[in-house]
């Protein structure tokens, strides 16, 4: 490092000396060119058409250089300006303006020497444009036109290379060939690439050998060793250096880190850690239950490490199955169907594990699979009894007597002990206890007669329990069908009335009747219809059996009269041809109705049952009139009671319908009755010895009358009043009777 700094100081001093020499010789080298420049300037500024003569050159100027990062004790002399008009008497004054004038660059107004007062950095600003002018010191009038010149900052190697995008991360497949490109790194140098070797970079690897290398000119990192195995080492930390000055001594350098990861390829086959696996399963396990697990190890990652398992041989290939657990990559052995200790106690299987994805580049490294042997031992378990059938179906006739045998179920203990079995019917499967089962022999019997029409099927369960074991039980389904017996007589399918017109013609079909039977209808079974023996000689209706379980009813007389008879009952006997045959007598109701000429029914005797649903206006008026009359009678009755102690009023001879006779006398018991004959009051003619005949009814002057009878009795008097109203316009009359 110190060696590099000494070289830089030496170069800076050498540059300062060279700049001074160049500045001193610049006026001589470029005097002719500057003179030509001034001449052209004056030609351009002359008046149009005026011939301008070239004058003597005034400025001596050049492009100046100053070395950057100079740190000497005195200001750096950039250069010197001089004009021909300067006679050296001090009247010529030099003025400097432009970028950095007065701050970075200062000029001696007498000699024209320009100095840099500050350290310059080319990377901040590579050049400065300045303007110089000579003026009269006394009057400040320009002696020459101003001229521009450039001060260039000369580069030195003061910036090391930098990796702007580091650190870097790269990936390369394992087992890659030597020279496989990993990635490219690039460094930048702020120094001037056009001047010297300050920005000429060379790359080298400081850390990561011998696994990787880097190209010196491009920065491309490549693999340097063959068969790098990810399973042995996955990550590498590589350090890359970039050095300027073409990599020579004294150049500056920068470094960056590159983390390189080897990606996985399928270069490893699966491998079982052991060649034989021992497992066991109890015989009471059901299908689908897990027996055991095994795993073939594969160090590869992702899909390269996926393993599938299968049975390739063995005596348990139909009893067991193997699947792959996607999370743990294990082979899971499960029961395909239950095993039986008493039948077979051990199974041997051969399992193969293989990769599901292969890399064609490494197939020759295979095979990518491995095998192992699995031995499964069957363990004995105390199992419940087993029925000889999965379900049972029996038949029994309905109405069979108690104790009729339905069928038998049989179960046995499958264990080595072969314990006896006891049978029972769970109560919840036969709530009404239609059946019983022998506890030792499994024979099912009826406990009462069965009715197919009530319940044609009985679905029960029978439980078998091992005696002497762990009291385990098993159940079996028993379906019992109740066979039909012809024990129900047929009857009409419907019980509707038949309506027939009064003017119906003889021989007219009025109805077709059918029958139903709760029993099952067997093949070629039908119903036979006939008129009951007690109605065979009726002259009104006849019946024809259609031999298709229907019958037709015909009229045999001409016309009916509702006034004479409005309802007819026709008993019909229905027979089935079952075994044994059953018959019943059903009555057909036929109602006579009034019809029009088109045989449309107008009314039947069922009308009175319909009229109350909607009364006519006349009926309502009649009901209201009766209510008013009753109210009037009640009022009159109350008034009579209030006048019961007033003397009897005798009216003159008038029409009896317009008189009211009142009797109001205190009763005196038996003696009073003997003293006064009340019959005389009732019939004055009886007093004269004339007694009217009681077998002759009195003639009524008005046939339509309303009679109301009121009677009141007590211990002292009796009143009887008859009110007669002959018509709506006749007055109300009353008769009195004891």
Mark which of 222, 240, 263 sits at the end of a domain: 263
Question: What pLDDT, on the 0 to 100 scale, is given for residue 503?
Answer: 87
Rounded to an integer, what distance in angstroms lies between the CA atom of residue 369 and that of residue 359?
A: 14
Residues 478 and 532 both lie in one domain: no
Domain for residue 666, yes or no?
A: no
467 belongs to a structural domain: yes
Residues 173 and 134 placed together within one structural domain of the fold? no
Using DSSP, state whether 40 is helix, strand or coil: helix
Write the CATH number for 285. Answer: 2.60.40.60
**Of 154, 177, 199, which residue constitutes the final position of a domain?**
154
Cα distance between residue 42 and residue 46, in whole Å: 6
**Cα–Cα distances in Å, from 413 out to 202, 409, 444, 465, 554?**
91, 14, 20, 9, 73
Q: Is 9 a member of any domain?
A: no
Among 528, 517, 556, residue whose Cα is nearest residue 540: 556
Calpha distance 453→485 (Å, rounded): 10
Is 241 buried (19+), middle (13-18) or exposed (0-12) by CB count in 10 A? buried
Same-domain pairing of 540 and 563: yes
Tokens at residue 548, please? 């298709």
Contacts (Cβ under 8 Å, ≥6 apart) of 97: 130, 131, 133, 146
Q: Are residues 592 and 539 located together in one domain of the fold?
A: yes
Do 286 and 249 fall within a single domain? no
Domain-located, residue 296: yes
Residues 6+ apart with CB under 8 A from 78: 19, 23, 64, 65, 66, 105, 114, 115, 116, 151
**Are residues 598 and 561 part of one domain?**
yes
Name, in order, each residue with C-beta under 8 angstroms of 221's C-beta and a sequence gap of 6 or more.
Answer: 170, 181, 182, 183, 184, 185, 205, 212, 213, 214, 238, 240, 258, 260
**Are 457 and 507 contained in the same domain?**
no
The partner residues of 576 in beta bridges, in order of sequence, read 527
Please check whether residues 150 and 188 belong to one and the same domain: no
Q: Would you say 117 and 101 are in contact if contact means Cβ atoms under 8 Å apart?
A: no
**401/458 same-domain check:** yes
Query: How many folded domains does the chain comprise?
Result: 5
In a domain, 321, yes or no: yes
Same domain, 541 and 593: yes
Q: Which domain holds residue 140?
A: 63-154
State residue 13's pLDDT score. Answer: 42
Structure tokens at 249: 């001594």
In this predicted structure, what is the pLDDT of residue 243?
93
**Rounded distance between C-alpha atoms, residue 41 and residue 45, angstroms:** 6
- Residues 105/128, Cβ–Cβ less than 8 Å: yes
Residue 714 has what pLDDT?
38
Last residue of a domain, which of 154, 175, 203? 154
Q: Which residue has the tokens 């006679």?
A: 87
The DSSP code sequence of 436-492 is EE-TTT-EEEESS---TTT-SEEEEEEEEEESSSS--EEEEEEEEEEE--S-S--EE
**Could you tell me if 495 and 597 lie in one domain?**
yes
Q: Average pLDDT for consecutive 10-residue bins of the chain (738 residues)?
A: 37 43 35 30 38 44 73 80 82 89 87 86 83 88 88 81 92 93 92 80 94 95 93 94 87 94 92 95 91 94 91 94 92 93 92 91 86 94 86 93 94 78 93 94 94 92 84 90 88 88 89 88 82 90 92 91 89 87 91 88 63 61 90 90 59 46 48 46 46 43 36 38 40 38
What is the reported pLDDT for 121?
80
Predicted local confidence at residue 65, as pLDDT: 80
d(CA 638, CA 635): 5
Dist. CA 469–CA 284, nearest whole Å:
15
pLDDT, tens digit, 9 for 90 and up, residues 488-507: 889 898 888 899 998 888 98
What's the pLDDT tens digit per position in 568-606?
A: 999 999 998 888 888 999 999 999 999 988 888 888 854
Cα dist from 705 to 466, 618, 628, 732, whole Å: 98, 19, 16, 10
pLDDT of residue 380: 84
Query: Is residue 191 situated within a structural domain?
Result: yes
In this structure, are 290 and 357 located in the same domain? yes
pLDDT score recorded for residue 354 = 94
In a domain, 427, yes or no: yes
SS3 category, 42: helix
Instruction: Transcribe 673-700 into DSSP letters.
Output: HHHS-HHHHH-GGGGGT----TTSPPPP
Own/partner contacts of 99-102, CB < 8 Å, gap of 24 or more, are 99/125, 99/128, 99/129, 99/130, 100/128, 100/130, 101/130, 101/131
Residue 111 within any structural domain of the chain: yes
Residue 316: strand pairing partners: none
């Amino acid at each position: 490092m110190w060696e590099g700094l000494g070289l830089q100081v030496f170069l800076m001093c050498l540059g300062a000396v060279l700049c001074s020499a160049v500045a001193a010789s610049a006026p001589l080298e470029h005097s002719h060119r500057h003179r030509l420049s001034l001449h052209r300037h004056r030609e351009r500024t002359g008046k149009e058409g005026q011939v301008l003569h070239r004058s003597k050159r005034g400025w001596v100027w050049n492009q100046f250089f100053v070395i950057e990062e100079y740190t000497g004790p005195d200001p750096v002399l950039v250069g010197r300006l001089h004009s021909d008009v300067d006679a050296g008497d001090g009247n010529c004054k030099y003025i400097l303006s432009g970028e950095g004038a007065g701050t970075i660059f200062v000029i001696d107004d007498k000699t024209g020497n320009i100095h840099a007062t500050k350290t310059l950095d080319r990377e901040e600003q590579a050049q400065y444009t300045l303007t110089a002018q000579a003026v009269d010191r006394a009057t400040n009038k320009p002696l020459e036109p101003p001229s521009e010149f450039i001060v260039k900052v000369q580069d030195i190697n003061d910036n090391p290379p930098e990796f702007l995008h580091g650190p870097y991360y790269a990936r390369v497949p394992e087992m890659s060939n030597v020279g496989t490109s990993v990635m490219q790194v690039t460094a930048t140098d702020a120094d001037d690439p056009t001047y010297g070797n300050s920005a000429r970079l060379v790359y080298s690897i400081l850390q990561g050998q011998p696994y990787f290398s880097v190209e010196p000119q491009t920065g491309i990192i490549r693999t340097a060793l063959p068969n790098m195995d990810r399973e042995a080492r996955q990550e590498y930390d590589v350090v890359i250096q970039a050095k300027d000055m073409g990599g020579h001594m004294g150049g500056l350098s920068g470094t960056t880190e590159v983390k390189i990861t080897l990606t996985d390829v399928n270069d490893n086959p699966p491998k079982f850690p052991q060649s034989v696996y021992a497992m066991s399963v109890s015989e009471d396990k059901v299908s689908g239950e897990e027996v055991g697990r095994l795993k073939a190890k594969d160090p590869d990652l992702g899909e390269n490490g996926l393993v599938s398992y299968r049975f390739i041989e063995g005596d348990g290939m139909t009893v067991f199955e193997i699947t792959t657990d996607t999370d743990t990559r294990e082979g899971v052995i499960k029961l395909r169907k239950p095993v039986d200790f008493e039948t077979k106690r051990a199974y041997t299987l051969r399992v193969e594990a293989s990769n599901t994805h292969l890399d064609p580049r490494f197939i020759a490294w295979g095979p990518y699979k491995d095998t192992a042997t699995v031995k499964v031992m069957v363990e004995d378990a105390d199992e419940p009894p087993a029925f000889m059938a999965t379900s049972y179906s029996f038949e029994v006739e309905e109405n069979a007597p108690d104790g009729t045998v339905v069928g038998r179920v049989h179960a046995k203990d499958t264990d080595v002990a072969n314990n006896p079995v006891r049978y029972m019917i769970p109560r919840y499967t036969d709530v009404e206890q239609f059946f019983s089962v022998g506890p030792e022999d499994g024979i099912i019997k009826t406990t009462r007669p069965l009715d197919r029409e009530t319940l044609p099927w009985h679905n029960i369960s029978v439980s078998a329990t091992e005696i002497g074991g762990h009291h385990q039980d098993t159940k079996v389904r028993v379906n019992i069908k109740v066979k039909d017996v012809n024990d129900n007589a047929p009857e009409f399918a419907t019980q509707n009335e038949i309506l027939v017109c009064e003017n119906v013609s003889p021989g007219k079909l009025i109805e077709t009747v059918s029958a139903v039977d709760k029993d099952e209808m067997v093949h070629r079974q039908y119903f036979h219809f006939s008129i009951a023996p007690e109605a065979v000689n009726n002259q009104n209706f006849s019946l024809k059996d259609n031999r298709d379980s229907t019958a037709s009813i015909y009229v045999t007389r001409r016309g009916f009269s509702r006034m004479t008879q409005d309802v007819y009952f026709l008993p019909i006997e229905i027979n089935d041809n079952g075994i044994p045959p059953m018959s019943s007598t059903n009555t057909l109701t036929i109602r006579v109705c009034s019809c029009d000429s088109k045989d449309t029914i107008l009314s039947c005797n069922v009308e009175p049952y319909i009229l109350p649903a909607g009364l006519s206006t006349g009926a309502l008026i009649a009901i209201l009139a009766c209510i008013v009359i009753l109210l009037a009678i009640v009022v009159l009755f109350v008034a009579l009671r209030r006048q019961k102690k007033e003397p009897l009023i005798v009216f003159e001879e008038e029409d009896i319908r317009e008189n009211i006779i009142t009797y109001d006398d205190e009763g005196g018991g038996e003696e009073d009755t003997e003293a006064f004959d009340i019959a005389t009051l009732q019939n004055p003619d009886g007093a004269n010895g004339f007694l009217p005949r009681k077998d002759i009814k009195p003639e009524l002057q008005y046939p339509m009358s309303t009679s109301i009878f009121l009677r009141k009795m007590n211990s002292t008097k009796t009143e009887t009043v008859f009110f007669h109203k002959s018509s709506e316009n006749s007055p109300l009359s009353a008769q009195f009777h004891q």
